[in-house]
Amino acid sequence: MTTRNDALTPSDGAGRRDDLIDGLLTELKDDQGGARKTALRRALDVDNAAGSNASADVEARLDSIEDRLDDLETDVDARLDSLEGRVLDLEEDAEAAAEWRESLQRALQ
C-alpha cells in the first residue's frame, strides 16, 4: 500500500511533481470567476456525488488542498530565498579567499 509520504518521495520524480504543483497553483490563483475550480469539480465528479454531504465533503477537501498548496508555495519560496542568501555568502567567501590567496602569492614573491 502506498502512503501519502511514499507517494512524494524524490525518487518518484520530484522535479515533475514540483512542476505539476506549480502549474496547479498558477491555475488556481489565476482562476477568475471560478471556471478552473468548476472544471476540477467536474473532473472529480463532485456535481454527481451522492448526497449533499459528499459534495460538501469534496468542497472542503478542495479548499484544504488549495490551502496546503499555498502553504507549500510559501515554504518553497522561503527556502529558495534562504538558499539564494547562502549562495551569495559563499560567493563572497570565495572572493575573499581568492584575494587572500593572491596577497599571499604576492608576499611570497
Q: What is the pLDDT of residue 91?
A: 95
Is the pLDDT at 19 greater than 50, yes or no? yes
Name which of 71, 69, 63 is nearest 34 in CA terms: 63
Region 90-95 average pLDDT: 95
Name the residue with higher pLDDT: 78 or 10: 78
Q: What is the pLDDT of residue 52?
A: 58
Q: What is the pLDDT of residue 27?
A: 75
CA dist 82 and 55 (Å) reads 41
Counting runs of H as helices and runs of E as strands, what totals does the chain give?
3, 0
Is the pLDDT at 62 greater than 60, yes or no? yes
